[in-house]
Structure 1
Amino acid sequence: MADVVNLNRFRKMRQKEEREKTAEENRIRFGRTKAEKLSDRQDAQRRKADLDGKRIDGNKAEE
């Protein structure tokens, strides 16, 4: 005869695993430090300024 199982326990375990998986994905996607965000922002500004400085017509880019 088969063992009696509590379906609620298995349902809750599955939901917990899904939440942990989602949390791990979010940590990877959004989990950056303030310094990393600042560094990326400064790099983007530096690249934009460098590109604008190499414009042939010499006009500033309209924003």
Structure 2
Amino acid sequence: MNQGIPDLIKAVLTHKPRFEMAFYPGTYHAFATEGGPVYNETAAKDAWERTVNFFRKYLG
């Protein structure tokens, strides 16, 4: 896990109270790039659904 995540969370909570974070163990950067070498369909679909729901909730 990235060692900078605790500092990132602290900064986000200080400046932007609306945020969500999800971890996808066993995935790599670009895991949502369909057809890419590290594509993970399950994680990609979950991440997309979470993103859309977040936008709907906070942006309308």
Structure number with greater Rg is: 1
Structure-1-length-normalised TM-score: 0.35
Q: Which has the larger share of helix?
A: 1
